[in-house]
A and B are shown apart, each in its own frame.
Chain A
């Protein structure tokens, strides 16, 4: 069974440019999460999809970030325009259920560097 897949694994862009990150969750997982780790800091929650709907987007830093989950399958996270402070590792996770001690399965992350 394929795990959570993220693309690209690395991205280097200039300040002001646009970048789109993609996440393919485990098949059948309705719950999809985006997290981000800025260098030296903890991994922080960005948002949570249940199927195609945004359940919780309280962690999104600002309106330069746009997440979508077309048809409740894969998800994209677009940063436009990118700023230097957006650099970090973006993780995607998926789970079949939500809450409690449900395991969230993580992808390998996308390392974004804004120069």
Chain B
């Protein structure tokens, strides 16, 4: 069965620092990959998705993610954290031929001044 692993349930950074949230998938055939963000009292919002057109994917709010097949990873980065980035981030995967998403456990990003 496919699984998605997010390393670190909480990540703390200072404002202006690099944000790195890790995501690894388990399947031998690369799935379709997504990053979602959930701000307090809101639903999940799509940040970006891997489409196989390019290994480096740019998303909203300055986030980007790099797909590395050799490492089965799809880590999320942002060069400079902003206070408004504080939220919970979810990595998700969808196997080819399927409709459902498999989620990681989520990483809470804490940004301090």
Chain A residues engaging chain B, CB cutoff 8 angstroms: 3-4, 31, 33, 35, 40-45, 48, 55-56, 59, 91, 93, 98-101, 103-109
Contact = CB atoms under 8 A, between A and B. Distances in A.
Contact of B106 (A42, A91, A99, A105): A42
Contacts of A3: 43
Contact of B100 (A4, A41, A56, A107): A56
Nearest to A59: B100
B46 A103 contact: yes
Contacts of A43: 90, 92, 101, 103, 106
Contacts of A105: 46
Contact of B105 (A42, A99, A104): A42
A107 to B, nearest CB: 5
Contact of A99 (B4, B43, B46, B94): B94
B99 interface: yes
Contact of A4 (B36, B43, B90, B94): B43
Contacts of B99: 31, 33, 48, 55-56, 98-99
Q: Give me the 7 closest cross-chain CB pairs, A-B, nearest first.
A: A106-B44, A108-B43, A98-B99, A43-B103, A106-B43, A45-B100, A42-B105
A91 B50 CA distance: 23
A101 B49 contact: yes
A44 B51 contact: no
Interface string B66-100: 00000000000000000000000010101011111
